[in-house]
Amino acid sequence: MIWIGSGAQCIARVRGRDGALITQASITGITFTAYDLDSATPTVAVSGPTALTVSGVVFNAAQTDERWTVDSTGYNFMYEVLESVFTTDGHFYKVVFDFDPASGQDFVIPFKIKANMP
């Protein structure tokens, strides 16, 4: 859950279909799209699709800073979704990242985020 008027950090440890952690060189493109699941048109994007710069969101080594509290291994993907995406109190939003690897099939990482008034 996030407060309306704030962004959301989408952080993950992402592995490719081969099971290895992705790197900047292993991904040729990433697209971001967001949907308001509680709107009258939940399959219509409220943001995106937007092409992301791979080097700006994928890390070649796992990061273990204070943002990651799941384990000691860390994360290798992080994108900050702007607050302008989350506009309606009590609504759930689906944020989808579509990864295009250098080889193999595309894969998707979804996040579900609820927005509430502070």
Q: What is the pLDDT of residues 29-52, one digit of tens each?
A: 999 999 999 999 999 999 999 999
**pLDDT value of position 73:** 95
Q: What is the pTM (predicted TM-score) of this model? A: 0.94
Both structure tokens of 26: 């292993």
Q: Is the pLDDT of residue 118 over 90?
A: no
* Strand blocks (E) in 37-91: 45-52, 58-63, 75-81
CB-based contacts of 51: which residues, under 8 Å, 6+ apart? 29, 30, 31
At 1 the pLDDT is 87
Q: How is the chain split into domains, by residue range? A: 2-116
18-29 pLDDT per residue, tens: 899 999 999 999
**Is 2-116 a domain of CATH 1.10.760?**
no
In angstroms, the CA 7 to CA 111 distance is 13
